[in-house]
C-alpha cells in the first residue's frame, strides 16, 4: 500500500461523500492531510462522512455545492481555504452519468440538449471551474491536481456517448491545464475501469460481469484501487504531469 506523510497539507476532494471520492478522502486523511469534502448539499451522506471522520480523529470539513454551478465551484474552493488557510491538492472527482442505466449508442433520442448540458457542465467544465478557482492557492503551495476521467474516454463502454465524450474531453483538459499551471502545479488524471461503487451498482450485475471479463486481472476494481493511484499522483510522481493513468485491471 502506498503511503505518504501529508502532515500540514490540505486537500479538496469533490464528489467526496462516497465511492472513489470517499476512498480518496480517507486515504489522504490517514496520511495526515486536512481534507475538505465536497458533494451536493442534497446528499445526506456528506454530513455523515464529516461526522464520522471527526470521530475517527481526522481533520475534515464538508463544503457542499455543485461543481456544475460556477458560483458553487468558487465558493467550495474559498470555503476550504478559509477553513484551512491553504490548498495543496485538488481532486476533481465529482461527476454524473445522468442515467440510472446505460444508454446504448443507437439510442440517440435519449441524448437531449439538457442531458448533454448537465453532463458537460459537471464532468468537463466543473473540473475547470474548480481548478481555475484553486489555481492561485495551488501555485503558492506548489501543489497538484488529479482529475477522475474514465476508460469510457478511450472508447470503452460507458453509461452513454455523452458521458464518454465528457471524459475524453477531461483527458485533453488535463494535458492543457498541466501546461497552463506549470511549472508550479502538476495536473494529471486517472481513468478508472469498472469500479464497484454505489454509482456503478445501479447498472446491474451483468454490466459488471461483462466489464470484468474484459480485464486481464479478472476482478472488479475497488475505490481504494483508484485512491492509491490518486495519492501517488498527488504526493509523489514529481516529474509526471499532463498524463492520464489507466487504472482498469488491464482492459483489452
CA dihedral 127, 241, 245, 164 (to 10 degrees): 30
The closest alpha carbon to 102, from 198, 214, 180, 199, belongs to 199
**How many angstroms separate the CA atoms of 229 and 177, rounded?**
19
Q: How many CB atoms lie within 10 A of CB 112?
A: 10
Point out the catalytic residue in the list 89, 154, 163, 239.
163
The radius of gyration computed from the CA coordinates of the chain, to the nearest angstrom, equals 17
**How many angstroms separate the CA atoms of 86 and 141, rounded?**
8
Q: Does the annotation mark 239 as catalytic?
A: no
Q: How many CB atoms lie within 10 A of CB 155?
A: 9
Using an 8 Å Cβ cutoff, are 67 and 122 in contact? yes
Annotated active-site positions, please? 163
Amino acid at each position: 500500500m502506498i503511503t505518504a506523510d501529508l502532515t500540514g497539507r490540505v486537500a479538496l476532494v469533490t464528489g467526496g461523500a462516497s465511492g472513489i471520492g470517499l476512498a480518496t478522502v480517507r486515504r489522504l486523511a490517514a496520511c495526515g492531510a486536512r481534507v475538505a469534502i465536497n458533494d451536493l448539499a442534497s446528499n445526506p451522506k456528506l454530513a455523515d462522512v464529516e461526522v464520522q471522520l471527526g470521530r475517527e480523529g481526522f481533520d475534515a470539513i464538508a463544503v457542499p455545492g455543485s461543481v456544475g454551478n460556477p458560483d458553487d465551484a468558487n465558493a467550495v474552493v474559498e470555503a476550504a481555504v478559509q477553513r484551512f488557510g491553504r490548498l495543496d491538492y485538488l481532486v476533481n472527482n465529482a461527476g454524473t452519468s445522468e442515467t440510472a442505466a446505460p444508454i446504448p449508442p443507437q439510442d440517440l433520442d435519449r441524448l437531449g440538449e439538457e442531458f448533454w448540458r448537465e453532463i458537460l457542465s459537471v464532468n468537463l467544465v466543473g473540473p475547470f471551474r474548480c481548478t481555475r478557482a484553486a489555481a492561485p492557492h495551488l501555485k503558492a503551495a506548489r501543489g497538484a491536481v488529479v482529475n477522475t476521467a474514465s476508460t469510457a474516454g478511450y472508447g470503452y463502454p460507458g453509461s452513454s456517448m455523452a458521458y464518454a465524450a465528457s471524459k475524453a474531453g477531461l483527458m485533453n483538459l488535463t494535458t492543457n491545464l498541466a501546461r497552463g499551471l506549470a511549472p508550479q502545479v502538476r495536473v494529471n488524471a486517472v481513468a478508472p475501469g469498472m469500479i464497484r461503487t454505489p454509482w456503478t451498482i445501479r447498472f446491474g450485475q451483468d454490466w459488471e460481469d461483462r466489464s470484468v471479463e474484459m480485464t486481464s486481472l479478472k476482478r472488479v476494481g475497488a475505490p481504494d484501487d483508484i485512491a492509491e493511484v490518486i495519492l501517488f499522483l498527488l504526493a509523489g510522481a514529481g516529474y509526471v504531469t499532463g498524463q492520464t493513468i489507466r487504472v482498469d485491471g488491464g482492459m483489452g
